[in-house]
Structure 1
Amino acid sequence: MSASPAPRPNPKPRPLMRKRSLGVVPSSSETSSDPTLDCPICYSLIQDAYMTRCGHSFCHDCVKRCIEKRPACPLCSCELVDKDGKEQIFPNRLLNDLALRAIKSEKRPRIGGAELGSRIMQILAGEKDVSVNDVNQALDVLQTKKRQIEATSREVQLTLLREFLDHSYKAKHEELNRIKTDIALLEQDLSFLDSLSNTAVDWHFSDTNLPHSSHSSQSTPIKSGLSVRVGDTTEDGAATSVQTVLSQRRFRMHAHFQCLEDCYFSARQIHREEDSMSPEPQQPADASEDVDITVRMPRPRAPRGLERFAESLSKFTRYSQLRSLSTLNYASDLLNSTSIVSSIEFDKDSEYFAIAGVTKRIKMFEYSTVIRNDVDMHYPINEMTCSSKISCISWSSYHKNMLGCSDYEGTVTLWDAYRSQKVKTFQEHEKRCWSVDFNKVDTKILASGSDDTKVKLWAINQEHSISSIEAKANVCCVRFNPDSMYHLAMGSADHCVHYYDLRNCKTSLGVFKGHKKAVSYVKFLNAKELVSASTDSQLKLWKTDDPQCLRSFTGHVNEKNFVGLATDGDYIACGSENNSLYIYYKGLSTQIQTWSFRTQGSGREDGTVPVAPGESNEFVSAVCWMTGSAVVVAANSQGTIKLLELV
């Protein structure tokens, strides 16, 4: 008889834990959204929670079954039965309360329609003892549910359709009201223009100056039934000339029709209340009955908004192109690769203009000589050499020979431009100085702005600064109000224009916010309006007493360089990083003319510039407007200077 095998030793007991089936995701009815409330044994939301002596909590039934098999904690194997055989588990009421709250607050996901239908099909297919009555009851329930679902769906569809139609109706009704208002304004203005044909007094646009170019604008027909007046007669030659000019202006008008239309309605709405309060013109009381009615008839009063728009339309369509007058070169050495012109300025009488840039030279030219002599090379009448790259120059409005400049070392220098001699040097800025400007009223004062976040005020008869403005960011430009000795605007790297009264330099009068990048230039159009340029490719028009932007000008490209900014009060010129010059009129947001240094010609009739693929990195770096004329001087990063005229 063979010996029986030796018994195998009992293995060391391991904690009894319930394992999940691999690949099975627990349903929402088994687990809680908060895993801390799940039982570690059954992985379901804990029920009738009990806590062991070691601090672990389980469902009461789960932990009881574990203790019956092995009296130890399923997690840490801590003994759960004392010497007397008493179980060491205790009710966990706090955890029970939390579990009950979770059950009440937790919203179980609804079973989807496809899943519910599948379950019903399985139930019906699996049940064998189903009577006809049971099937009929089920059908009744399903039919009732179907009708409820269809009714709900129909109600939702009808409600949504009604809301859409209501919203569309209100929007179209508001649009209709706007159109009616616009039509009423148009009819009112057309009626006013028709009334002009019945008067002997011509209506002229207020504040509309004659163009600077050689041809002057003449009265044009308001409508086909109105005659063209040249003095007191109508001449065929004059009419032909007017029709030619009218044809050119009409083309430019239609090229920018949408922008002009927006400008018209904006101007009419702004001044509508003012027009309604304006008194009607009165007929003179002492008029004699023998006087011709055309003489006694009062002059029609134009609506203020119509006058404003007529002025904008006239000035916007006045010029057809930019004409080249002459060309200069800033770099005397043709092999010099660095020839960026940073600043161009005319003197107080527009007799001379100076050009400065990174070659550290200020070159002075006589305007009449440059225009008169049709030669390939023009030489300056004077030249001044600085110790560092020049960022900005400014002429004194009183001392004709005095010229100020700022440079990359932070130095502000005063020159006697006629003698090419330094008069005074100011060296208080700690970093690069970007801008300098003479006060137009108190002509012995000038200001400078620097990367050291300071604006310094200087007097030409003193050695040190007389005042200072502390900015919070780099100062890129400074400009005095042309009609005030106390007011100054500065553009900063904080994306804002700050306006100061120099009698209180600690607090600004206003901060003009709207640019998305650093403000590189600020120029005054007049005492009440200023324009700013930024590397966000926008110009913005402001009123000195209003922090809201009046208008933004877009079209040019300016993302990283100083491209120049100039104005004559109505028109604004700026450079672009596509190597072109852009001209804007202050009343509209789009450019009216462009000049490309690449093609050496004016842009298209609509003011746009054709851009060739692979355009170089050249850019327009400085511009200047000749006071009282339509002449603009512009220079680019290669040192080419163009004298251009709007015609």
Structure 2
Amino acid sequence: MSSKSSNQTSSQSSETPHSSCPASSTEEKLVECPICFTTLKDSFVTPCQHTFCYECISKHLETKSSCPSCGRYLVMSLLKPNYEVDEAVKLYEERKRKKRSRSNSYPLAADLQQLMCQVDSLSAEELTALIEDLKSKKEQREKTEKREDQFLLFEFLQQAISKKESTVKRLEEELQVLLQSRNYLESESPLLQEWKDNWLEEHMHNSSSLHMNRRQRIMEHFDYLEDRFYSLHSQERKSSDSETSCIGAVLDTFREDLYKFSKYSGLHCKAILKHAEIPNISNIISSIEFDRDSEYIATAGVTKRIRIFEFGSILESVLDTHYPVKEMVSSTKLSCLSWNSYIHNHLLSSDYEGVVTLWDAITGQTLNEFEEHEKRIWCVDFSKVEPTRFASASDDGKVKIWSSLQLNSVATIENRANVCCVQFHPTMEHLISFGSADHQVYMYDLRQTKQALQVLRGHRKAVSYIQFLNGFHLVSASTDNTLKLWNVSQSSVVQRSFQGHRNEKNFVGLSTNEEYIACGSENNAVYVYYKEISIPMLLYR
């Protein structure tokens, strides 16, 4: 009887710790991928409301066209990011980490308590033997720990020596490059040799105030510019025939970088465009666009109005409020504008209802409306090569290519997530690029839209803007606080990341020319970057 009772007690005791398992198990199931059975990573949801890791479902759909959970028809274009589950995963991981941290604090105390309960039943002779055994084990443990500590210390010293030796070697190589570069420059400019002993005094005496301002800017960002110099040398050395030709090429390029980075001393406000309305949230401007010749500037936003202003009049005006030369009214909120580079009076708008409208900016009349998108359109763009072609990007995960000569789209690119921005290549009419909420930038050849020509990966959040600097370089902006520069003619690897502005939630704007990149920031400032340097060169607040 006693034996049976003891077994029952033991069975009950072993089950007690699992009394809370159902709730824990349910939470684990909610954040578990049904394919890999691990915690979801970069989760995407199907139309049938099943959620998987993006990598898992992508591999599955390479060979099948059905949902792994229910068997319904499924292809990549039907998947959408599941941001809610991503947040739930973060919370689950945090709770699990805290629980693990708490549980690690108590096991030793519990073990000691159990041990003392067992010791209470020992005799004096057994206790003496136990103490002697523990002393022996303690001595052995102390020797082992001392030996292990010595190994750890030795390993630390070895690693530190190795790192310092690598640093010394790198510094010696960099010093050699700097000395060779200085010698090369002196040979190119005899005047520098004459000033060699008192070059700083001569430099300060003969320099203009503009030059001194540029010098100050260079000194302020010396570390970043130094990294740029060594990076240039490393790149050039791979392709140069000799060290002399390498140094010459590096100095020519770096001299140009110094000039372009330091040539401007600041940003100055030329004018402030003020609408007649009282500023509030309902008057948010979503898009500002110059026309082809920078004679007119058009604005649009949640007021459901497109206003066209004469740019020269804004610069010359002394009035606090500006009035448009033309105003067009839309039936819904507007998200984006795009002027035609050839047909001066053609202006495109996109709206929250998924409609693209072609306007005559001179008469203010609607020329055509293009209605195929199912959700809000974020961006619209006229081709700079083919004047009748334009593209639109929408929350329905589609990029549509249109011709102003017909109402139906001429091509559709299906994407697996919301599309936030789109732009045609500046010189090749068949190339188009767009940024997506799945953190990636895609480039397509319109002659073959089934598969992307390039996928540019590197952002950690949605890509809000893209702009071509030229035919080879593309800049992307994201709500991960970065801009990224890509050389689309060479590879899919990020060429440079720009950081300094703040952008975590909103679409803050992006503007470029061939050398400089400007963007807004959530600290109410405008930042300007030079394309070859990762830090801001100018800031306006």
Match for 1:561 among 487, 502, 506? Answer: 506
Shift of 1:548: 1.2
Three-state SS of the structure 1 residue aligned to 2:480 is: coil
Match of 1:514 in 2: 458
Higher percent of residues as helix? 2
Three-state SS of the structure 1 residue aligned to 2:229 is: helix
Match of 1:448 in 2: 392
Q: 1:195 to 1:439 in 2, by over 3 A?
A: same
Q: 1:265 to 1:423 in 2, by over 3 A?
A: same
Structure 1: how far apart are the matches of 2:525 and 2:137? 75
Shift of 1:321: 1.2
Match for 1:470 among 394, 414, 417? Answer: 414
Amino acid at match of 1:263: R
Q: Does structure 1 retain, via aligned residues, the 8 Å contact 2:233–2:247?
A: no
Structure 1: how far apart are the matches of 2:361 and 2:128? 108
Structure 1: how far apart are the matches of 2:219 and 2:225? 9
Match of 1:343 in 2: 287
Shift of 1:446: 0.6
Q: For structure 1, which segment, 239-248 or 250-259, has the greater mean C-alpha deviation from structure 2 after superposition?
A: 239-248
Match for 1:573 among 513, 518, 527? Answer: 518
- Answering whether residue 452 of structure 2 is matched by residue 487 of structure 1, we say no
Match for 1:354 among 298, 313, 328? Answer: 298
Structure 2: how far apart are the matches of 1:565 and 1:470? 25
What does residue range 234-253 of structure 1 map to in structure 2 within 5 Å?
Answer: 242-253=207-218
Structure 2: how far apart are the matches of 1:317 and 1:431? 45
Amino acid at match of 1:198: P
- Answering whether residue 171 of structure 2 is matched by residue 182 of structure 1, we say no
Q: 1:124 to 1:438 in 2, by over 3 A?
A: closer
Match of 2:240 in 1: 275
Match of 1:365 in 2: 309
Match for 2:162 among 167, 170, 174? Answer: 170
Match of 1:392 in 2: 336
Shift of 1:564: 0.8
Deviations 1:275-306 (A, max 9, x none): 345886xxxxxxxxxxxxxxxxxxxx853333
Deviations 1:151-171 (A, max 9, x none): 656644443333222221111
Three-state SS of the structure 2 residue aligned to 1:274 is: coil
Match of 1:379 in 2: 323
Match of 1:626 in 2: none
Three-state SS of the structure 2 residue aligned to 1:374 is: coil
Three-state SS of the structure 2 residue aligned to 1:566 is: strand
Q: 1:388 to 1:177 in 2, by over 3 A?
A: same
Deviations 1:601-642 (A, max 9, x none): xxxxxxxxxxxxxxxxxxxxxxxxxxxxxxxxxxxxxxxxxx
Shift of 1:353: 1.8
Structure 1: how far apart are the matches of 2:204 and 2:236? 34
Q: With structure 2 as the length reference, what TM-score do the two structures score?
A: 0.72
Deviations 1:519-547 (A, max 9, x none): 11111111111111111221111111321
Structure 2: how far apart are the matches of 1:408 and 1:126? 85
Deviations 1:80-122 (A, max 9, x none): xxxxxxxxxxxxxxxxxxxxxxxxxxxxx99xxx9xxx9x996
Q: Does structure 2 retain, via aligned residues, the 8 Å contact 1:363–1:382?
A: yes
Match for 2:496 among 551, 555, 566? Answer: 551
Q: Does structure 2 retain, via aligned residues, the 8 Å contact 1:401–1:418?
A: yes
Shift of 1:179: 0.8
Q: Does structure 2 retain, via aligned residues, the 8 Å contact 1:408–1:432?
A: yes
- Answering whether residue 251 of structure 2 is matched by residue 303 of structure 1, we say no
Match of 1:325 in 2: 270
Amino acid at match of 2:237: R
Deviations 1:327-378 (A, max 9, x none): 1113x22266411111111112222221221112222222222223333233
Q: Does structure 1 retain, via aligned residues, the 8 Å contact 2:237–2:243?
A: no
Deviations 1:564-601 (A, max 9, x none): 111012111111122221111111222122222xxxxx
Q: 1:588 to 1:426 in 2, by over 3 A?
A: same
Q: Alignment identity in percent?
A: 42
Deviations 1:438-488 (A, max 9, x none): 111112111111111111111111221111111111111100110110111
Shift of 1:255: 2.1
Q: 1:155 to 1:320 in 2, by over 3 A?
A: same
Three-state SS of the structure 1 residue aligned to 2:492 is: strand
Match of 2:153 in 1: 161
Larger radius of gyration between Structure 1 and Structure 2: 1
Q: Does structure 2 retain, via aligned residues, the 8 Å contact 1:272–1:305?
A: no
Structure 2: how far apart are the matches of 1:412 and 1:583? 31
Structure 1: how far apart are the matches of 2:310 and 2:193? 43
Q: Does structure 1 retain, via aligned residues, the 8 Å contact 2:443–2:454?
A: yes
Structure 1: how far apart are the matches of 2:339 and 2:194? 48
Q: With structure 1 as the length reference, what TM-score do the two structures score?
A: 0.61
Shift of 1:392: 0.7
Three-state SS of the structure 2 residue aligned to 1:556 is: coil
- Answering whether residue 185 of structure 2 is matched by residue 193 of structure 1, we say yes
Alignment RMSD: 3.9
Q: Does structure 2 retain, via aligned residues, the 8 Å contact 1:270–1:305?
A: no
Structure 2: how far apart are the matches of 1:242 and 1:454? 57
Amino acid at match of 1:382: K
Structure 2: how far apart are the matches of 1:472 and 1:123? 76
Structure 2: how far apart are the matches of 1:150 and 1:15? 45
What does residue range 85-234 of structure 1 map to in structure 2 within 5 Å?
Answer: 123=125, 155-198=147-190, 224-225=195-196
Structure 2: how far apart are the matches of 1:159 and 1:389? 69
Q: Does structure 2 retain, via aligned residues, the 8 Å contact 1:441–1:482?
A: yes
Match of 2:61 in 1: none
Deviations 1:112-166 (A, max 9, x none): xx9xxx9x99659979xxxxxxxxxx9xxx99996x7776566444433332222
Structure 2: how far apart are the matches of 1:279 and 1:577? 47
Deviations 1:212-240 (A, max 9, x none): xxxxxxxxx89955999xxxxxxx9x997
Q: 1:155 to 1:376 in 2, by over 3 A?
A: closer
Amino acid at match of 2:319: V
Q: Does structure 1 retain, via aligned residues, the 8 Å contact 2:347–2:360?
A: yes
Three-state SS of the structure 2 residue aligned to 1:547 is: coil
How many residue pairs align between the two structures?
A: 439
Structure 1: how far apart are the matches of 2:270 and 2:146? 76
Amino acid at match of 2:174: D
Structure 2: how far apart are the matches of 1:372 and 1:239? 39
Q: 1:594 to 1:121 in 2, by over 3 A?
A: farther
Structure 2: how far apart are the matches of 1:159 and 1:455? 61
Q: 1:495 to 1:191 in 2, by over 3 A?
A: same
Match of 1:334 in 2: 278
Q: Say which structure, 1 or 2, has more relative contact order (CA 8 Å, 6+ apart).
A: 1
Match of 1:644 in 2: none
Three-state SS of the structure 2 residue aligned to 1:327 is: coil
Structure 2: how far apart are the matches of 1:343 and 1:144? 76
Q: Does structure 2 retain, via aligned residues, the 8 Å contact 1:197–1:226?
A: no
Q: Does structure 2 retain, via aligned residues, the 8 Å contact 1:269–1:305?
A: no
Q: For structure 1, which segment, 316-325 or 153-162, has the greater mean C-alpha deviation from structure 2 after superposition?
A: 153-162
Match for 1:459 among 403, 406, 410? Answer: 403
Q: 1:362 to 1:159 in 2, by over 3 A?
A: same
Match for 2:349 among 386, 405, 427? Answer: 405
Structure 1: how far apart are the matches of 2:138 and 2:2? 51
Q: 1:353 to 1:222 in 2, by over 3 A?
A: farther
Structure 2: how far apart are the matches of 1:224 and 1:355? 56
